[in-house]
Amino acid sequence: MKMKKIIGILLLGFMAVILVACGQKSAEEMIKTELKDSYTGYSKNPGYENPFNEGDDTLKFNKEERSITNSQGKKKYFAVLSEKDVPSDTKRVLKELEGDLKGTDNFTIIISREKNPTKKQSEATYQIALSDGGKTIRIFELRRNERDYGYYDFTGQAD
């Protein structure tokens, strides 16, 4: 009788772990199913690199070539950075952004002029946060160097 209870508890625990794991979307799944082709929105501050400008902008995502192009035609390629590859200083910034990221499907990207960028080719790191099935996007610059202005924080709606 005691053995049945132990096995039952272990089975329930195992099922809970499986359900949690199945509920989490991978970055690749989010890109395929939620990320839209174009978002129009605004950021008060520019990113350190193009295509992330201050003010009103439209960002176009080409999922096939993994690129982001702004309304001025400036393009960068992106690659998803796995959680284990996120540097510790970037993890600290993500911790600070936890409240903004809560309730979103989000993932970390690196950007570069090079197609299929590697971590070594990375020019910067950004966090993509999707909500409402991808209809709304927020893009956070994860660099935290000293400067006279704030960091890129784009909020946009799918076109």
Q: CA dist 26 to 9, 82, 86, 137, 149, Å?
A: 29, 10, 15, 17, 33
Q: Does residue 114 sit in helix, strand or coil? A: coil
Kindly tell me the burial class for residue 32, based on how many C-beta atoms sit within 10 Å of its own C-beta (0-12, 13-18, 19 or more).
exposed
Please tell me the distance from the alpha carbon of residue 148 to that of residue 102, in angstroms, as a whole number.
28
Looking at per-residue pLDDT, the higher value among 118 and 8 belongs to 118
Domain ranges within the chain, ordered by starting residue: 25-158
Q: In this structure, are residues 62 and 159 in contact, taking their beta carbons and an 8 Å threshold?
A: no
Cα dihedral sign, 65-48-150-26: positive
Residue 92 sits at the vertex; the CA angle it makes with 107 and 123, to the nearest 5 degrees, is: 60
Q: In this structure, are residues 130 and 151 in contact, taking their beta carbons and an 8 Å threshold?
A: no
Please tell me the distance from the alpha carbon of residue 112 to that of residue 50, in angstroms, as a whole number.
10
| pLDDT band at residue 149 under the 50/70/90 scheme | confident
User: 62-72 pLDDT, tens per residue?
Assistant: 999 999 999 99
Other CB atoms within a 10 A radius of the CB of residue 149 amount to: 9
User: 78-112 pLDDT, tens per residue?
Assistant: 999 999 999 999 999 999 999 999 999 999 999 99
Is-above-0.85 flag for pTM?
Answer: no
